[in-house]
Amino acid sequence: MQEYFPIHVRNSVERDWGSEAIIISLRFASIEALCTALNLDPSLAEKLRKMGFETPEALATATVEELMYVGLDVDTSRRILREIRDSLPFLTLSGEDLLMEGLKVQRITTGSKALDDALGGGVETRNITEFFGESGTGKSQICHQLCVNVGLPEEMGGILGGALYIDADNTFRPERICQMAKRFKLDPMEVLKGIHCVKVVNSDHQIFVVDKCEEILKRHKVRLIIVDSLTTHFRGDYPGKELLPKRQLSLTKHISRLKELSKAFDLAVVVTNHVISSPEEPFGEALKAAGGFAISYAVRTRLYLRKAISPNLRIARLVSSPYLSEREVIFRIAEGGIEDIREGEV
Q: Are residues 123 and 165 in the same domain?
A: yes
Q: Are residues 254 and 289 in the same domain?
A: yes
Instruction: Give the pLDDT confidence score for residue 51 in this predicted structure.
Output: 75
* Contact between 269 and 258 (Cβ < 8 Å): yes
**203-211 vs 244-264: helix crossing angle, rounded to 10:** 20
Q: What is the pLDDT of the chain when averaged over all its residues?
A: 86
What digits encode the pLDDT tens for the residues 316-336? 999 999 999 999 999 999 999
User: Among candidates 204, 203, 180, 205, which has minimal Cα distance to 191?
Assistant: 180
Number of domains making up the chain: 2
341: left (phi over 0), alpha (psi -120 to 50) or beta: beta
Q: In sequence order, which residues have a C-beta less than 8 Å from that of residue 298 and are 6 or more positions away?
A: 128, 252, 255, 256, 259
What digits encode the pLDDT tens for the residues 265-292? 999 999 999 999 876 655 555 788 998 8
What digits encode the pLDDT tens for the residues 231-242? 999 999 999 989
Q: Are residues 177 and 109 in the same domain?
A: yes
Instruction: Give the pLDDT confidence score for residue 9 in this predicted structure.
Output: 30
Q: Are residues 56 and 117 in the same domain?
A: no
Helix (H) or strand (E) holding 262: helix 244-264
Q: Are residues 253 and 173 in the same domain?
A: yes
Given a cut of 70, whether residue 102 has pLDDT beyond it is: yes
What digits encode the pLDDT tens for the residues 158-174? 999 999 999 999 999 99
Q: Are residues 80 and 105 in the same domain?
A: no
Q: Are residues 153 and 284 in the same domain?
A: yes
Q: Are residues 272 and 318 in the same domain?
A: yes
Helix (H) or strand (E) holding 162: strand 162-167
Q: Are residues 58 and 161 in the same domain?
A: no
Q: Are residues 72 and 203 in the same domain?
A: no
Domain containing 54: what range? 13-87
Q: Is residue 144 part of a domain?
A: yes
Q: Is residue 239 part of a domain?
A: yes
Q: Is residue 28 part of a domain?
A: yes
Q: What is the pTM of this model?
A: 0.76
Q: Are residues 65 and 113 in the same domain?
A: no
Given a cut of 90, whether residue 132 has pLDDT beyond it is: yes
What digits encode the pLDDT tens for the residues 246-259? 999 899 989 989 99
Q: Are residues 171 and 309 in the same domain?
A: yes
CATH code: domain of residue 55 = 1.10.150.20
Helix (H) or strand (E) holding 140: helix 139-149
Last-in-domain residue among 41, 66, 87: 87
User: Among candidates 285, 284, 319, 324, which has minimal Cα distance to 304?
Assistant: 319
Helices and strands (H and E) in the chain: how many: 15, 15
CATH code: domain of residue 213 = 3.40.50.300
Instruction: Give the pLDDT confidence score for residue 279 in this predicted structure.
Output: 65
